[in-house]
Amino acid sequence: MWSTMLQSSSVRLKRGSNSLSSDSKKRGYIVPIGGAEERMRDPAILKRFVELCGGESSRIVIIPTASKLRSTGSDYEKVFKDLGVREVRSLAYQDRADCERQSWLHVLEQADGAFFTGGNQLRLSTTLGGTSVANMLRDRNRSGDLHIAGTSAGAAIMSQHMIAFGEEGATPHADMVTLVPGLGIVENLIVDQHFRQRDRLGRLLSALAYNPSSIGIGLDEDTAAIISHDGSIEAAGSGAITIVDPAEVEYSSMDSAHKSDPVSIIGVRLHILIEGGHYDLNTRRAFPRANSSARR
């Protein structure tokens, strides 16, 4: 059972680095999902998250804040219970005051995994940003005590620089994307979701033109990026992950482009990964599943 007894030393909030460097030996897994993940017939991605959290003995918290539907939290509770998880609890943070409730903070502190549902990522950033909940999520993930997954809006919120709005299309434009602060679960990554289905390459490229120190991850629906503590990204699910790496960009016209102008970007690298493919954030190299042994 979830313990509701509060201990004076149980909730310790601290700030620290949330980078994905190889020095973070014990960091928890981070699993952004592109939305519309299979939940009924073969919920392979959610099963994988349950395994990462410890299987049937794990405690998983659902954070349905992004959704306006009151049933979202309970719906995901049922999904995870059907997968064999014995202890699942929905924490429906509706306003910022909820994020300071000591009983809920204690539940979050005991969890092995936290799952963000889809909806509106701005509801997540404006409700959770800068609160004890956001600090605890980052700190417990950094220390390896908590694994974090999120679908759709729940994937976008993990970025330090989060895509809030954007237009469809493959060509980047000067005013194509609006960036706001996310929760910063991952640094130096910009995550976009429903990627192929909603034609979002242009807005991810535009976001990276503003932030060329970051790497872009475009997630198709029913597809996840399983990010481990050593900086390895594994593709899982029925779609693909698009990795956009601007490290070798030679030229960008973003600084001189006028409103609605197309933007030229020269030298960007792009990888498409399907189930089992890997990308190493440290070496910036991609590997197909068949050649994964080449990483050793």
Catalytic residues, by residue number, are 152, 194, 221
In single-letter form, the type of residue at position 240 comes to: A
For residue 69, count other CB atoms closer than 10 A to its CB: 11
Look at residue 156 and give its three-state secondary structure.
helix
Tokens of 103: 């009983």
- The CA distance from 25 to 228, in Å, is 10
Q: Is residue 11 a contact partner of residue 195, using CB atoms and an 8 Å limit?
A: no
For 25, the token pair is: 């030996």
Count of Cβ atoms closer than 10 Å to residue 127 Cβ:
20
CA atoms within 13 Å, Cβ hemisphere of 166: 32
244, two tokens: 């956009």
